[in-house]
Structure formats: structure tokens, C-alpha cells
């Protein structure tokens, strides 16, 4: 074919021969044959686990940059069903999961990576930069995965950890007709309905020689359903009770009453703040279609068209039982604390140095009684919440291009469009349980009333439920009676997100044929892309009856019993816990999704019926209207130029080059001004020069050394660039504002690696990496002061919040201020470029070996093989700090740490210091089996905060296994187990091993299926 293609094929052939145990004379013979016939293309048949590992290893060895490769051992047979879980096989990669399903990938401890399909950028369903979600693409459509850890000058900019390129079959590379169909059913242990979900896919591919050249086509389609459940109990113990802390008859700290009730204990301890019993059911329905067409009219010209279309529907039914109002319960006569634990929060890295936090006691078991001796006489109380959401995403990636090859050069051009349109409807409702056995609400007090709670948090199990056998204990009949539930809150939203990237690129390679010593070719190229994102949220007027003047006329659920159903009774199914809430009522989550208008109409009718004035009932759900504060329309225009010299000698090969990038940004948002919203437009621009060097030394036929140096950038997420200001109704939730003045993060990376190919299809490798990161994106929150007046929280309710925070005109004051109504100072949150440099360094070790060469000695046992890798990472953070919230400050002050030291240095999220994979596989007699155990150490979470700091995801391992049997060359059957040991996902507060506050009880999935290749 061409000089460049022959070079690549020759290198790959040599690597394959070496990995297959060929002799040096075999290398020479392969080179001589290719030199004598430019059109001679070696055909490599890939079949089975061992063959796929061999081909992937050969591609890694032949590459002039640092890459990791996973190949399919047959069409549609990557090692896992989920692409995130496929990538977990790669050294230096860890994944995060949602309800046990892999959803995000970290390369060297960061989510800030690029995802491409056949070299084309993808866009995500939200405002992030990470590209298409791995939930949206089945592994059955992908033939191989390439992870580039050290980029070349021609590599598109925009990642911290690396670039993930998902590759589909190329039609003109097929040597036989491909026609395969696959079918599986999947069952989840925690699925209350015990459904069996189908997974179907098929692929057809072929090419033909005609008078008009070579034609080829590959078409793939897939349809998958998946049901995943997760039980997520949460216990907050972030309230401090001190020995000198007293309560008056109103249940308020202080001494404003003649009747003083003392603390329940004679030592300081952390009490219960509230309990959450959360149950999430996620249903996925994914349809994908991909097609590739190639035409090669002659030896010099190749044209192609690729298209991938995705339709993802993910619905989520989240049910939550909350024991609220328990924050003043730890006083004498109304609580029984039966056990405590000593909590060591570890240390904090403050501006004045590292401070070790003294230990403190935290309650672990007991009974909380309704506080009838206090004037309110109502706590603790039960709330049931239903949150029915969905993500409905239509996305596509289309590219059209061609390549002209001559003896001296290769010229290519490509036009590509990636788009993603997402609708996220959500219907959230909350009911309050009014316990008929407890003191009833009285005018001027709380609308909730007391239900006794028993809890036992010992042994790492966060379990709690309704205390039984007491006068105030509700019966099952009472818990399932709609007349005992009052409507509290309801809101319907519908958010729209439209993302698109249009790109054109042209690349030119010129072969020097010895004109410059050691330089084999020069690459130059240009890329233009325009990226845009539009976010538009819609909601109806929120029903919030807990603080309205007519709160005691709130409709009971008996007025809308047609939309009320019992909640799932199997919260103990994951771990057999003793304490949980089995019987409760919720608003029908399925109906809230399928017919939200009917639910809204039933709620409104009930509000009108319960009102003293049906003509003026107060808050009802109205039509969906735009939420101006959440709107943004952002576009970027980028030009990139690169030049790269490729070099090769007897030992050394690689590339050196520069990439120049310039970007212009336009951010359009809406900002409130005197009750109306005005458009605000911000513009900006930046440019970077990105030098990149890759060196490979082929020391001998067994040893390869690699070194690389490069610079890259990481652009901020689009929502962080918004000029809009967003308000919520929660007085504790921060108002989030964008920052269009953010500049990209600047990353320098160094890599060194050695690879020892000591046996056929085997390798032992070691590598070190170092990254220096500047201008990190740091979320910053400014809290209003937690003013307490006469023992009552009294946060400022007047604008402009001079003492801190931002005024939120729509927030319900709730317990944060004794004056009922809306409008209060709340935390203000935005994102800024961090101070100082953050550095990462790490070690990556990998080992791959099989016993195929010992068949004569071992017989059946020669089918075994092993793959293992280990990654160590460490990070040194910049000069940015997070402050504890008011509860955290109170705890630290009680432990002797001053408020000014109640800060902790910002650390990188999702970075595990240690991680490893171990895979044992067996392939012989038609059997292909593998078992993989993955483990990662603790890391800082991105989605939850406590004490004002992010929670810590504790260390976790997971075991997956599969076995397939080939009946013949065409038919095979398989069985796969995912999360076989049902490993829990726990979160702790402040530091690893600190206070356990969250428990994720995950699902186990079993898949059974068959495939047939015609």
C-alpha cells in the first residue's frame, strides 16, 4: 500500500512475531517479504482471550507513544458489558460506580479526560467536558479501546489523565464476512420485581472488490435493558452535645426558661442529626446503532463515512424515609443512649500547619422518644420523599473524511459532528407522617409530630427504624393509612441540555526518505472546532406547605389516595438488617414519571379541598415555566495548529513537536435585577503552546524503554462558565454562580517506563509519572454566620448579607430563622482558579503471563494465565482551603481547635493512593473463563459533603467473573457475574476511617446468554 502503512504493519508484524516466539530469522523474513511487495498486508486472525491479549500487547509495543490497548477476542466480546468496567482492566485506571454500575473513569486519579470514538471528540449529556457517558455505549459496539497517557503533538488537547479512543470495526480491514448476533438476560439480586432484562446486539460486515474499487461496510445495532437497585442508609452525627449544654422547655439550647433539662450524658458527644433510609431503583433502556462505510477507488484514495446514534432512557425512582427533627433529642428523660464509639477524625492541613484532631465520643445505639415534655412535643418525626427522575438522551457522532496516499506523502481531511440532546424530567414529593399515637400538632408549633426511633450503628451497619412496643409506636395499619400522612412539598421540573461540537481537521505527512538523518517523516495539521452548550430549566410553582400560614389545613393523603402507594418493604434485602422502616406510604413514583400531569392535578385538587378558602387555596402546582437563573448559552471557537517530526534509528524512535491552540469564548446568561432578568454576555480568549516529546528505545528484542514530556490544558466545565445566578428553595443549599473568567488548567507531564517481553504473549512493565498542575478549578463556598440569639438560630434575612453569603429571595427560612416566610442569607458558591501548584506522582506496574507454552508438560493446566497490575499515586495540593461549616466549627472548638484553624487543604477528588487488578483466566477445550478482582483505596468523593468538607469513599474491592463455552465455531454460551460478593460502598466524614456516615449496599448482577456467528 503506502510507505506509512507498510511501516506500521511491519512494526506490528515484528511485535506479533516476537510475542508469538518467532526467531530473529523470522523477523528478517517478514521484513524482506514486505520490502519486496508493497501491497502485501499481513492478516492476523484474532480469536480467543489469548489472541486478543497478544494483539493488544503487540500494538502497545509497536506504538511510539505511551498507550494501553484492549482488544476484543471476537466481535462484540470485550471482557465486560459496560465500557467503564472494560477500562478498569487498564493499569492506572480506576472507575466510580452508580448503584454498582460503572459510570465514570479516572485515569491516574482524575476524571478530566477526553473520550473519542474513532478519533472524533464526543460530547456528554450535561455541562461537563468528559464526553459521552459510558452508560450510553454498550461494549458490544466497540472492537478495541486505546488509552493514550502521553500525547503527541497531533493528539487533540483537553485532558489531564489521558485520551480514551473507542474504536469500531473498519470495513476494509475485514478478511471474512462478519455476521453475528448475541443475546443475554440480566437479573439483579436487589430487584424487588425480580425481572430478567434483555441485552441484544448484532453486527454485519463485509467488503467487496469491484471495477470501481474496494467497498466495505459494517453495521451494528444493540438494545439493552437493565434494572439496578441500591440501598443507601445514611446517619448524620454532626451535632455536638456538651456536658454544660442545657435545654429549656421549648427544646432550645440556653437558659431562657424556668424549667431546665440537662444533657443526657456527663461527657461531650456527637448526637444524631437525622437518619435517611434511601432506596434507588435505576432502569436503563439503551438503543444504539452504528455504521461505517469505506470506499477505496484506487491504491491512493480512501473515503469513509462513520455514524453512531444513541438513544438512552434512564429512569430513577428514589424513595427516602427520613427521621428528622432529632437534633434536640439528646436530653435527659427523652433519650436512651446505650453505646458510644471513640471517633478519631485524623488531622487537618490548615494554613498554619497540620493539626491532629483530638478524639470524641459518638453515639452508636439507643432509642429516641418523642419529646412530649417539651412545649413542641413533636420530635422526632417521619418524612417520606419520592424523587422520580430520568435522563433521556439522544446523541450521535458522525464523521466524513478521506485520505490520499502517495509515495512521498499522505494527505487527509475530516469533518465531524458530535451532538447530545438531553431532557431530565423530575417530580419530587414529600409527605409527613402524623402519628395518631403521639401529641398532635397545635397551632403555632411544628406540623410534625413524634415517632420513637431505635438505632444501632455498631459494626459498620447504619441501621435504624421505628421503636416497637411503646405507647407512641405506630402500628402497621396506621403507617399504611393515607389519613395519617399530610402533603408537605411537591415540585415538577424539566431540564433541557443541548451540546454540540463541529470540527474540521486536515493532516499532512511527508516522508523524508533519508533527507534528514534519523527523521523519517514530518506531520503538520490544522483543526477547527466550535463547541456549544445550551441549558434551559423549567419548573412549576413549588408547593411548600410546611411554612405556609395554612399549614394545619394541609391535605391529608386520603384526599389523593389514588396516587399513593406503599413503599418497597425489602430494605433489609441487601444485608439482612434488623432495623429498617418496612411500612410507609409514598406518592406513586411510576405514575409521577409516566403521567406527571395526573399527579399534579390530584395534588392541586387535594390542596383546594383542604383549604378554608377554595377560591384562594394558596400554593398549587402550576404550568412549567422557565427558570431564568439556570439558563446559559455558551460557545467556544478553537483553532489548533501542530507540527511534529517523527524519527527512527536502529534503537530510538518517537516524535517531537508543538501544538498551538487559541480559543475564543462567549457566555450568555440571565441575571436578576429588581425582579426581572436581564441578559448578560461575557467574552474571553486564551492561547497556549503545547510542546510534546515521545522517545522509545528498543534495547533488544525483549526490552523497550519509554520516555515522554508534554504539556496539555483542561478547560473548565461549561456550567462553571455561566453568567447566570441560580437560586433554590432550600435555605441550607448554596446559591451557585458561574465564573466566566476561569482560565484552563495548565498541566505538564513526565513519563518513564520499561517493558520486558520475557515470553510469548507476556510482559512485565514498570513506569513512573509526574504531573504538575496549575490553575486548578476550586469550588469556594462563603457561608453566612450561624448567629444564635437566645438559643435560637437567627440567620440574617435582609439583603445584601454584609456578613457573608448571598441573599436568596425564594428560600424557605425553615429552622434557620424564627420568622416564617421566604428570603434569607444562604451560602454562596462559585468556582475559581486555585493558588499554587498541585503535583501528582505515581508508579504503575503490570504483569501478564500464560502457560500455553507448557502444554506438553501441564496438559489441561496449560490453559491458565494471569494478568495483574498495581498503581500507586500521591498528590501534593496547592494553597487552597475548605472551611468547616458551623456544626464542624463547634465540634473543633469543643476539642480545643480555634475557629480560624477550622480549615483543610483542598485535595484532589477521586484519587486513590493504591489500586490493583488481578485477573485469572483459562482458555482450553472450548472454555474461556476469567475472574477479575479490582481494589482501590479510599478517595475523596465529589458528590457529598459533611461538616463543610467532602466525604471520603472508603476502600472497596469487587469481584467479577465470566465463563463461555464454544459449542462449535459458530455457537457459544456464557455466564457472567458482576459484583459477586456484593461489596458495600461506605463513606466517612472528614478523613478515611473517620466517622461512618453513609453506607451503599450494592447489587449483584447475573447475566446468561449466547452468541451465534454465521
Residue with cell 471517633: 343
Residues 6+ apart with CB under 8 A from 519: 512, 645, 646, 647
pLDDT tens for residues 281-308?
Answer: 888 999 999 999 999 999 999 999 999 9
**pLDDT-above-70 percentage for the chain:** 89
pLDDT bin (cut points 50, 70, 90) of residue 39 is very low
When comparing pLDDT for 506 and 615, which is higher? 506
How many alpha carbons lie under 13 Å from residue 353 in its C-beta half-sphere?
2
The mean pLDDT of 691-706, rounded to a whole number, is 96
Q: What is the pLDDT of residue 6?
A: 39
What mean pLDDT is reported for the chain? Answer: 86
Mean pLDDT of 193-209: 92
pLDDT band, residue 678 (cuts 50/70/90): confident
Q: 625-642 burial, b for 16+ CB within 10 Å, e for fewer?
A: eebbbbbbbbbbebebeb
Nearest CA to 444 out of 376, 381, 372 is that of 376
Do 753 and 168 meet the contact criterion of CB atoms below 8 Å apart? Answer: no
Q: Give mean pLDDT, residues 896-923.
A: 93
Terminal CA-CA length for the chain: 31
- Residue 691: its H or E element: strand 676-698
- Band of residue 791 on the pLDDT scale cut at 50, 70, 90: low
Q: Which uninterrupted H or E stretch holds 596?
A: helix 596-610
326-348 burial string, b = 16+ CB within 10 Å, else e? bbbbbbeebbebeebbebbbeeb
* Confidence at residue 441, expressed as pLDDT on a 0 to 100 scale: 61
Please check the confidence at residue 213 and state whether its pLDDT lies above 50.
yes
pLDDT in tens, 330-342: 555 567 889 999 9
Mean pLDDT of 884-912: 90
655/835 Cα distance (integer angstroms)? 33
For residues 73-97, give the mean pLDDT. 81
DSSP code, position 10: H
β-pair partners for 502: 417, 530
DSSP code, position 331? B
Peptide bond into 800 cis (omega under 30): yes
**Residue 912, C-alpha cell as written in the block:** 486513590
Cα(492)–Cα(622) distance, integer angstroms = 9
Query: What confidence score (pLDDT) does residue 475 get?
Result: 95
pLDDT at 127 over 90: no
- Residue 261 confidence (pLDDT): 57
Beta strands in 460-573 (DSSP E): 463-466, 485-511, 519-539, 543-544, 564-566
Write down the pLDDT at residue 446.
Answer: 53
The residues, ordered by sequence, that sit 6+ positions from 17 with a Cβ below 8 Å of its Cβ are 26, 27, 30
Among the residue ranges 78-82, 223-227, 427-431, 899-903, the one predicted with the least confidence is 78-82
User: Is a pLDDT exceeding 50 seen at residue 43?
Assistant: no
Cell (9 digits) for 112 = 478530566
Cell of 775: 490553575
Query: In this predicted structure, what is the pLDDT of residue 440?
Result: 67
Closest CA to 392 of 125, 581, 648, 585: 125
pLDDT above 70 (res 790): no
Mean per-residue pLDDT for 950-956?
93
Residue 278: strand, helix, or coil: strand
- DSSP character string of 766-816: EEEEEEEEES-EEEEEEPPP--EETTEE----STT-TTSSEEEEEEE-GGG
**Grid coordinates of 362:** 459518638
The mean-pLDDT minimum among 244-253, 885-894, 904-913, 964-973 falls in 244-253
Position 138 scores a pLDDT of: 84
Residue 390 has pLDDT above 50, yes or no: yes
Residue 250: predicted pLDDT: 47
Q: What is the pLDDT of residues 355-372, one digit of tens each?
A: 999 999 999 999 988 865
- The pLDDT of 211-239, averaged and rounded, is 92
Min mean pLDDT across 94-108, 266-280, 422-436, 890-904 is at 94-108
Closest among 739, 735, 885, 719 to 810, alpha carbons compared: 735
Please determine, for residue 495, whether its predicted confidence score (pLDDT) is greater than 50: yes
Banded pLDDT at 32 (limits 50, 70, 90): very low
The pLDDT-based confidence of 42 (bands split at 50, 70, 90) is: very low
Predicted local confidence at residue 447, as pLDDT: 57
Name the H helices within 37-140: 49-62, 83-87
Residues 219 and 203: beta-carbon distance below 8 Å: yes
The pLDDT assigned to 9 comes to 41
DSSP-based three-state secondary structure for 433: strand
Highest mean pLDDT among 110-124, 253-267, 727-741: 110-124
Grid cell in block for residue 295: 470506499
Of the candidates 395, 388, 373, which has an alpha carbon nearest to the alpha carbon of residue 329? 373
Q: How far apart are CA 138 and CA 286, in angstroms?
A: 8
Amino acid at each position: 500500500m503506502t510507505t506509512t502503512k507498510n511501516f506500521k504493519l511491519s512494526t506490528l508484524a515484528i511485535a506479533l512475531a516476537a510475542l508469538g516466539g518467532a526467531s530473529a530469522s523470522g523477523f528478517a523474513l517478514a521484513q524482506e517479504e514486505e520490502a519486496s511487495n508493497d501491497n502485501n498486508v499481513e492478516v492476523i486472525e484474532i480469536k480467543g482471550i489469548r489472541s486478543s491479549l497478544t494483539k493488544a500487547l503487540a500494538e502497545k509495543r509497536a506504538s511510539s507513544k505511551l498507550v494501553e490497548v484492549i482488544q476484543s477476542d471476537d466481535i462484540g466480546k470485550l471482557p465486560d458489558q459496560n465500557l467503564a468496567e472494560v477500562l478498569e482492566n487498564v493499569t492506572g485506571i480506576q472507575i466510580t460506580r452508580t448503584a454498582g454500575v460503572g459510570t465514570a473513569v479516572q485515569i491516574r486519579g482524575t476524571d478530566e479526560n477526553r473520550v473519542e470514538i474513532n478519533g472524533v471528540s464526543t460530547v456528554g449529556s450535561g455541562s461537563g467536558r468528559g464526553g459521552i457517558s459510558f452508560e450510553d455505549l454498550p461494549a458490544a459496539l466497540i472492537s478495541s479501546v486505546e488509552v493514550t497517557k502521553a500525547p503527541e503533538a497531533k493528539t487533540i488537547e483537553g485532558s489531564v489523565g489521558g485520551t480514551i479512543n473507542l474504536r469500531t470495526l473498519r470495513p476494509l480491514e475485514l478478511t471474512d464476512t462478519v455476521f453475528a448476533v448475541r443475546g443475554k438476560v440480566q437479573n439483579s439480586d436487589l430487584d424487588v420485581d425480580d425481572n430478567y432484562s434483555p441485552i441484544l446486539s448484532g453486527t454485519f460486515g463485509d467488503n467487496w472488490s469491484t471495477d470501481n474499487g474496494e467497498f466495505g461496510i459494517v453495521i451494528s445495532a444493540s438494545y439493552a435493558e437493565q434494572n439496578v437497585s441500591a440501598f443507601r442508609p445514611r446517619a448524620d452525627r454532626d451535632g455536638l452535645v456538651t456536658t454544660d449544654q442545657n435545654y429549656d422547655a421549648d427544646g432550645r439550647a440556653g437558659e431562657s426558661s424556668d424549667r431546665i433539662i440537662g444533657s443526657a450524658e456527663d461527657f461531650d458527644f456527637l448526637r444524631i442529626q437525622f437518619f435517611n433510609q434511601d432506596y434507588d431503583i435505576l432502569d436503563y433502556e439503551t438503543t444504539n446503532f452504528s455504521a461505517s462505510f469505506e470506499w477505496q477507488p484506487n491504491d491512493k484514495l480512501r473515503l469513509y463515512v462513520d455514524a453512531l446514534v444513541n438513544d438512552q432512557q434512564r429512569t430513577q425512582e428514589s424513595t427516602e424515609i427520613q427521621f428528622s427533627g432529632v437534633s434536640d433529642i439528646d436530653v435527659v428523660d427523652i433519650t436512651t443512649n446505650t453505646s458510644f464509639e471513640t471517633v478519631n477524625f485524623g488531622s487537618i492541613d490548615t494554613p498554619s500547619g497540620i493539626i491532629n484532631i483530638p478524639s470524641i465520643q459518638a453515639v452508636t445505639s439507643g432509642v429516641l422518644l418523642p419529646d412530649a415534655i417539651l412545649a413542641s412535643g413533636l420530635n422526632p418525626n417521619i418524612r417520606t420523599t419520592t424523587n422520580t427522575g430520568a435522563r433521556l438522551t439522544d446523541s450521535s457522532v458522525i464523521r466524513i473524511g478521506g485520505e490520499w496516499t502517495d509515495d512521498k506523502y499522505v494527505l487527509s481531511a475530516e469533518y465531524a459532528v458530535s451532538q447530545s440532546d438531553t431532557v431530565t424530567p423530575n417530580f419530587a414529593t414529600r409527605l409527613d407522617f402524623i402519628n395518631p399515637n403521639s401529641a398532635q400538632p397545635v397551632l403555632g408549633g411544628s406540623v410534625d409530630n413524634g415517632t420513637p426511633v431505635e438505632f444501632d450503628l455498631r459494626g459498620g451497619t447504619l441501621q435504624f427504624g421505628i421503636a416497637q412496643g411503646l405507647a407512641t409506636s405506630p402500628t402497621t395499619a396506621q403507617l399504611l393509612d393515607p389519613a395519617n400522612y399530610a402533603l408537605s412539598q411537591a415540585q415538577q421540573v424539566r431540564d433541557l441540555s443541548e451540546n454540540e461540537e463541529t470540527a474540521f481537521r486536515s493532516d499532512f505527512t511527508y516522508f523524508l526518505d533519508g533527507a534528514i538523518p534519523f527523521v523519517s517523516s514530518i506531520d503538520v495539521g490544522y483543526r477547527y472546532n466550535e463547541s456549544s452548550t445550551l441549558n434551559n430549566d423549567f419548573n412549576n410553582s413549588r408547593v411548600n406547605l410546611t411554612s405556609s400560614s395554612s399549614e394545619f389545613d394541609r391535605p391529608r393523603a386520603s384526599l389523593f389516595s389514588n396516587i399513593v402507594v406503599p413503599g418497597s418493604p425489602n430494605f433489609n434485602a441487601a444485608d439482612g438488617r434488623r432495623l429498617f422502616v418496612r411500612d410507609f406510604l409514598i406518592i406513586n413514583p411510576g405514575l409521577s414519571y409516566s403521567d406527571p400531569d395526573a399527579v399534579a392535578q390530584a395534588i392541586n385538587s387535594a390542596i383546594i379541598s383542604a383549604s378554608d378558602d377554595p377560591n384562594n387555596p394558596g400554593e398549587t402546582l402550576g404550568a412549567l415555566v422557565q427558570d431564568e437563573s439556570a439558563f446559559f448559552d455558551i460557545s467556544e471557537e478553537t483553532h489548533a495548529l501542530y507540527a511534529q517530526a517523527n524519527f527512527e534509528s536502529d534503537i530510538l524512535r518517537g516524535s517531537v513537536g508543538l501544538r498551538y491552540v487559541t480559543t475564543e469564548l462567549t457566555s450568555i446568561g440571565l441575571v436578576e435585577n429588581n425582579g426581572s432578568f436581564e441578559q448578560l454576555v461575557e467574552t474571553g480568549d486564551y492561547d497556549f503552546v503545547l510542546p510534546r516529546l515521545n522517545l522509545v528505545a528498543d534495547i533488544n528484542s525483549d526490552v523497550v524503554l519509554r520516555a515522554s514530556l508534554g504539556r496539555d490544558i483542561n478547560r473548565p466545565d461549561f456550567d462553571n462558565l455561566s453568567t447566570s445566578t441560580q437560586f433554590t428553595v432550600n435555605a441550607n443549599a448554596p446559591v451557585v454562580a458561574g465564573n466566566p473568567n476561569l482560565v484552563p488548567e495548565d498541566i505538564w507531564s513526565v513519563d518513564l517506563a520499561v517493558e520486558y517481553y520475557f515470553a510469548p504473549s507476556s510482559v512485565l512493565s514498570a513506569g513512573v509519572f509526574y504531573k504538575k498542575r496549575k490553575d486548578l478549578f476550586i469550588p469556594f463556598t462563603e457561608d453566612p454566620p450561624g448567629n444564635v440569639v437566645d438559643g435560637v438560630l437567627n440567620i440574617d434575612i435582609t439583603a445584601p448579607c454584609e456578613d457573608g453569603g448571598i441573599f436568596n429571595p425564594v428560600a424557605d427560612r425553615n429552622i434557620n430563622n424564627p420568622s416564617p416566610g421566604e428570603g434569607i442569607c444562604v451560602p454562596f458558591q462559585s468556582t475559581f482558579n486555585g493558588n499554587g501548584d498541585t503535583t501528582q506522582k505515581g508508579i504503575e506496574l503490570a504483569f501478564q503471563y500464560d502457560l500455553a507454552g507448557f502444554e506438553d508438560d501441564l496438559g489441561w493446566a496449560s490453559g491458565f494465565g494471569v494478568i495483574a497490575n498495581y498503581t500507586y499515586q500521591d498528590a501534593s495540593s496547592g494553597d487552597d482551603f475548605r472551611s468547616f461549616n458551623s456544626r464542624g466549627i463547634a465540634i473543633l472548638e469543643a476539642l480545643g481547635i480555634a475557629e480560624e484553624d477550622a480549615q483543610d487543604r483542598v485535595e484532589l477528588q477521586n484519587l486513590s493512593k493504591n489500586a490493583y487488578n488481578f485477573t485469572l483466566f483459562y482458555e482450553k477445550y472450548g472454555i474461556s473463563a476469567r475472574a477479575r478482582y479490582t481494589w482501590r483505596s479510599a478517595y475523596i468523593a465529589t458528590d457529598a459533603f459533611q461538616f463543610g468538607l467532602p466525604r471520603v469513599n472508603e476502600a472497596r474491592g469487587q469481584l467479577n467473573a465470566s465463563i463461555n463455552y464454544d459449542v462449535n465455531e459458530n455457537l457459544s454460551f456464557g455466564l457472567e457475574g458482576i459484583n459477586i460478593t456484593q461489596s458495600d460502598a461506605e463513606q466517612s466524614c472528614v478523613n478515611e476511617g473517620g466517622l461512618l456516615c453513609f453506607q451503599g449496599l450494592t447489587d449483584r448482577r447475573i447475566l446468561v446468554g449466547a452468541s451465534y456467528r454465521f
